[in-house]
Chains A and B, each alone.
Chain A
Amino acid sequence: GAGVSQSPSNKVTEKGKDVELRCDPISGHTALYWYRQRLGQGLEFLIYFQGNSAPDKSGLPSDRFSAERTGESVSTLTIQRTQQEDSAVYLCASSFQSSTDTQYFGPGTRLTVL
């Protein structure tokens, strides 16, 4: 079966523009996570979706960041008015259900803000 997919794989944008990143989780996985990974850094938690529960948005760095998920499928991460410090790899992961289940990561979207 297919793993987690993300699109686009690379995105170059100008400062001040909005960008939308997409994640397609593994079918049947109820949990979905977004992380940010700056160059040479660890993964920074952004947001978590679990089924139909309210998402945990505690990791979003500013109100320019938002994310949505349609049911238990596709998720989009939107960054408005991008800044140069938003440049990073944005990783999506999904897991079957609980906190101890393996997180399966997508390949990431490399965002470069000029």
Chain B
Amino acid sequence: SQKIEQNSEALNIQEGKTATLTCNYTNYSPAYLQWYRQDPGRGPVFLLLIRENEKEKRKERLKVTFDTTLKQSLFHITASQPADSATYLCALYSGTYKYIFGTGTRLKVLA
């Protein structure tokens, strides 16, 4: 069955460093992949979408890569700030207008 894995352990990094979060998937060939940010008690907020024929996508301090051979997406936040602390979810398009979401990785940026 289709499976998405995100590191369930929280990631703690020092302010100013680059945070890298991983999304791995199996039994799957998604055409699109999205990353969302979720703060406690709130719904997810869309950050970036990357297509299967795109290797990399950037938006301000965010960068997403999509390696369809490794079946992996990496999400980078450069020059991280305490305000970047949140849970980050990856979501893969499973066809028929549905996305399958990972469980998310909690990021904490330490001042």
Contacts and interface: CB of A to CB of B under 8 A. Distances in A.
Interface of A: 4, 31, 35, 40-45, 48, 50, 56, 58-59, 91, 93, 98-100, 102-108
B101 A42 contact: yes
Contacts, number: 57
B94 to A, nearest CB: 8
Q: Which one of A4, A43, A98, A100 has the highest number of Cβ atoms from chain B below 10 Å of its Cβ?
A: A43
B101 A99 contact: no
A42 B104 contact: yes
B46 interface: yes
Contact of A42 (B41, B97, B103): B103
Contact of A103 (B96, B99, B103): B99
User: Closest 9 CB pairs between A and B?
Assistant: A105-B43, A43-B101, A42-B103, A42-B101, A102-B46, A99-B97, A105-B44, A91-B43, A42-B102
A40 B46 contact: no
Contacts of B99: 45, 103
A99 B44 CA distance: 17
Contacts of B103: 40-42
Contacts of A58: 98
B97 A31 contact: yes
A107 B98 contact: no
Contacts of B62: none
A41 B4 CA distance: 12
